[in-house]
Amino acid sequence: QVQLVESGGGLLRPGGSLTLSCVVSRITFSLYTMGWYRQAPGKQRELVETVSSNGRTNYVDSLKGRFTISRDNAKNMVYLQMDSLETEDTAVYYCNAQLATLTYWGQGTQVTVSS
């Protein structure tokens, strides 16, 4: 069974930084577009950023460059570097893998930004 397992979430103050990690198993990782999505309470899941198999990134303009996605194909891992965090960034963050019609999701990791 395909597995995506996120880690690195937690509680921090506004302006802080955090790095999320996702380890993927049982797929040919290097072929997949990897992405991070988030879902705040009472809201729909939304795109944060993706990185394709060739390293091309796609991101949400409203994040204003505060988040950076990266991948390590040798480790089957994808990361999300989160800087200048705001209370509005509070959400469950999900790791995603996509290839053509295939899509897989992790269980999510909670990020809480609070003063």
What's the maximum distance between 2 C-alpha atoms anywhere in the chain?
Answer: 41
Determine contact, residues 29/94, Cβ cutoff 8 Å: no
pLDDT tens per residue, range 33-49: 999 999 999 999 999 99
* pLDDT 10s digits, 39-98: 999 999 999 999 999 999 998 878 878 999 999 999 999 999 999 999 999 999 999 999
Cβ-based neighbour number of residue 60 at 10 Å: 12
Q: What gap in Å lies between CA 16 and CA 31, rounded to an integer? A: 33
Please report which residue ranges of 57-111 form alpha helices under DSSP H: none
Helix H or strand E encompassing 22: strand 18-25
Quote the pLDDT of residue 30. 95
Question: Angle 92-49-23 (CA atoms, 0-180°, nearest 5)?
Answer: 65
Q: Average model confidence (pLDDT) for the chain?
A: 96
pLDDT at residue number 65: 87
DSSP 3-state of 89: helix
Q: What does DSSP say about strands 109-113 and 10-12: parallel, antiparallel, or unpaired?
A: parallel
Band of residue 112 on the pLDDT scale cut at 50, 70, 90: very high
Residue pair 38/93 in contact (Cβ under 8 Å)? The answer is yes
